Amino acid sequence: MLYRPGPMRPRRVTTAPKPEFSRTLRSLWPFSPHLPAIAPQQGTLMSSIMPPSSGPSSGPSSGSSSGPSHAATNGSGTAPVLAPNVISAKEVSPRRKTSTAHTIDELVLEQLAHFGIDPKTEFGQHLGNVARSTYNAHSDTKLLWSTLTAELASLPRQDRAARFAAQKFLCFQLAKVLDTLMHPFRRTYQSIIDTQSSRLARGPYPIFDNITALFSAKPVITRTATYIYACSEWVDDGFQGKELLHQVYSRLLNPTNVSLANHVVDIEAGPLAHEYFAWNFNSGMAAIDAALSHLVGHQDIILASRNVYGGTYQLMHDWLSKPSNLDIAVEFFDGYTEADFAKALTDCQAKHADRLAKGRNIYVYLESPCNPHGYVLDVPAMTKLAHKHKLTVLCDSTVGTPFLHRPLKRKDAMERPDFVIHSYTKDMSGMGGTTAGVVIGRNERMFMGKHDSAQGLDVDGSPKTWHWNETLFWNVYYIKGAFLDSDKAYEVINGLHTLEMRVLHKTISTLTLAECLGLHEDINVNCNAAPGNPNAAIREKCLHLGLPAPLFTIDFEGKKGAGKPPFDRQMFKSFFDCLDPVFGHQVSLGQTNTVVLCPAITSHSEMSDEALRAAGIEPTTIRVAVGIEDPRTLIAHLIKASELALEPKAPGFCAKFPSPETVDAVYRKHYLAVHTKYVDSLPPTADLLK
């Protein structure tokens, strides 16, 4: 029989003032340290799950949540005020939104009554004691969080290590308590689900045996569509985006996916990770579509760099600009410098003055390093200029990866793009085994609880209040359903382990291939790693260690302005078809093996002949996506394919390749130089001991 107590005596309560919002602290989500620090509207749950500040209103003067857990009086000595530890404790109450309790003891009684448990029984007493400890533990953990955040940056390394170890062990202690609870919990379950048909239909109750999964050495692949929720008030908050322990539905959130999102923010933003947030998608194009759908409205304007991925071009040119869709205007600009962008922006503003006068907006879309040539744009300078004009900037950084291209680590916030996009499919997963993508942006533009708002920064650095329905989550992600499933997320996580090693080796091969092929007078090498390439200076400025992206093109159209191609198109096709299997005939990039394609008939086939020419793509252009092989094996096979397909009709072509000894010397030079540069860039041991 359920216990039903009489009603508590009503009291008049005044809620304690809310602590001042700190941008360095983020809302509590056990799977995600990168959720934004939200400054919610008065009275929302999100305000109660912020770690307390160090101000006088944030906690008891003793610094411990086991201090006075009663309702104190306010300054006038009349209306009771909830103690800060009680405010924190209410977050883990089943009646967090409707509680009338004013002390932790009252929270315990209220919880027992909510579930019909008589506190006078032996079971009720033990359950109440566990609940009381849990309320106090949660309050103390909030204080621990805020204390650690305030002091962490000033701690020596050994103290940081000690704090990590202590907190890690505390996780095991809490899990052991939970694991012990599973014994009576399971017995109770077995007494209720007591028929064969019920047990088969229900399956194993997942809480019982999943606790040890917390300590898996790799993120667990969470294959589920739905999740168990705690109680009605918690799941209500889950649907409002205010209780993210409740992931509700895997089209929206999934622990494996969230693990990847947090990881990529750490990688991409480094010391600024607390300012950024990521949403994963089931492909790179889904990520691009989501970002543009989030921002671009009817008759807006996109100003984009010329060399973008063919799918991006098609989305902008064929779908977004279609009059029956959004009727946007798309302007592509040539060049890679700030001056090139400044001229294009001025021209764009003049051309579309009528749209701008009607309140439409320009959005800047950059791809750097770009596809297919691997050329680099001066993203920091272009972004800073765009921000001065209050324009939002998106940057597809897929080809550069977070190892080479680090736009979100710029010290000057004005130089950082507002949204960075990656196709995980490429180098980040690295094996060509999955399709996935991600959008990374500032916290306040990516997520907050429903009906909340946050004080953040506008694109020009001025203060701005952002609202929940302006975030990518509620505006697009929540609706469109292009979610990355747990298996794909796990594969990307695995691939990221070797990203730095793979890309470093690929840059060596790129330098070697560009120099050796550039020695052939009938091969045009479009690569900023080629000696004398005009894009090299921007590459040195914008890419880590000045290393090139592992993507470039070659063509056989004859040296620019100096004659005709050395052979006809049919010969070229025969030559290209002989490149496989050393050069993989595949349409992607960023894999462990080197792959080639002809952009005009594959990755950029959506573009018109005029657009192809403007992008520097010729009929004989071959895009080379460099893998991790010894580059000399690639050069040797290319020479042999040339002997088979080209030499018979273009005598002397193969004699123009560099000698084997030259190739070896070039490879050795770049191998040693890149590794020396890389080692010299790493922090010395003395710094690591600090």
In this predicted structure, the answer to whether residue 406 has a pLDDT above a threshold of 80 is yes
Is domain 255-495 annotated with CATH 3.40.640.10? yes
In this predicted structure, the answer to whether residue 55 has a pLDDT above a threshold of 50 is no
Q: How confident is the model at residue 481 (pLDDT cuts 50, 70, 90)?
A: confident
For residue 42, the surrounding DSSP H or E stretch is none
pLDDT in tens, 223-267: 999 999 999 999 999 999 999 888 888 988 899 999 999 999 999
In the chain, residues under CATH classification 3.40.640.10 are 255-495
**For residues 567-577, average pLDDT:** 89
In the chain, residues under CATH classification 3.90.1150.10 are 499-686
For the four alpha carbons of 290, 292, 295 and 299, in that order, the dihedral sign comes to negative
pLDDT in tens, 138-171: 999 999 999 999 999 999 999 999 999 999 999 9
Say which CATH topology domain 499-686 has. Aspartate Aminotransferase, domain 1 (3.90.1150)
What residues does 52 pair with on adjacent strands?
A: none
In this predicted structure, the answer to whether residue 496 has a pLDDT above a threshold of 90 is yes
Q: Comparing 330-344, 500-514, 591-605, which segment has the lowest mean pLDDT?
A: 591-605
pLDDT in tens, 593-611: 999 999 887 767 777 778 8
Closest CA to 91 of 79, 107, 105, 77: 107
Which pLDDT value is given to residue 615? 78
Q: Are 549 and 510 in contact (CB under 8 A)?
A: yes
Which pLDDT value is given to residue 321? 96
For 23, the token pair is 């941008």
Determine the 3-state secondary structure of 18 from DSSP. Answer: coil
Q: How confident is the model at residue 485 (pLDDT cuts 50, 70, 90)?
A: very high
**For residues 646-673, average pLDDT:** 96
Spatial distance between the Cα atoms of 274 and 295, rounded to a whole number of angstroms:
23
In this predicted structure, the answer to whether residue 58 has a pLDDT above a threshold of 50 is no
Q: Comparing 9-13, 201-205, 397-401, 458-462, which segment has the lowest mean pLDDT?
A: 9-13
CA 325, distance to chain mean position in Å, is 29
**For residues 568-591, average pLDDT:** 92
Q: How confident is the model at residue 580 (pLDDT cuts 50, 70, 90)?
A: very high
Q: Are 257 and 485 in contact (CB under 8 A)?
A: yes
Q: Looking at per-residue confidence, does 354 or 72 come out higher?
A: 354
**For residues 440-455, average pLDDT:** 96
Instruction: Encode 507-527: b = buried (16+ Cβ within 10 Å), e = exposed.
Output: bbbbbbbbbbbbbbebbbbbb
DSSP state of 94: T
Average pLDDT score over the chain: 88
Q: What are the residues whose beta carbons fall under 8 Å from the beta carbon of 376, sequence distance 6 or more?
A: 336, 368, 369, 370, 400, 405, 528, 535, 538, 539, 542, 543, 549
In this predicted structure, the answer to whether residue 194 has a pLDDT above a threshold of 70 is yes
Spatial distance between the Cα atoms of 594 and 577, rounded to a whole number of angstroms:
15
Measured CA to CA in angstroms, residue 362 lies from 313, 320, 321, 328, 615 at distances of: 17, 14, 14, 10, 22
- Computed on alpha carbons and rounded to an integer, the radius of gyration of the chain in Å comes to 30
Which pLDDT value is given to residue 66? 43
In this predicted structure, the answer to whether residue 612 has a pLDDT above a threshold of 90 is no
Q: Are 527 and 510 in contact (CB under 8 A)?
A: yes
Pairing status of strand 362-367 against strand 392-396: parallel
Which pLDDT value is given to residue 557? 86
In this predicted structure, the answer to whether residue 16 has a pLDDT above a threshold of 60 is no
Which pLDDT value is given to residue 614? 79
Q: How confident is the model at residue 562 (pLDDT cuts 50, 70, 90)?
A: low
In this predicted structure, the answer to whether residue 306 has a pLDDT above a threshold of 90 is yes
Provide the whole-model pTM. 0.87
Spatial distance between the Cα atoms of 435 and 62, rounded to a whole number of angstroms:
53
**For residues 323-346, average pLDDT:** 97
Q: How confident is the model at residue 72 (pLDDT cuts 50, 70, 90)?
A: low
In this predicted structure, the answer to whether residue 181 has a pLDDT above a threshold of 80 is yes
Spatial distance between the Cα atoms of 668 and 658, rounded to a whole number of angstroms:
15
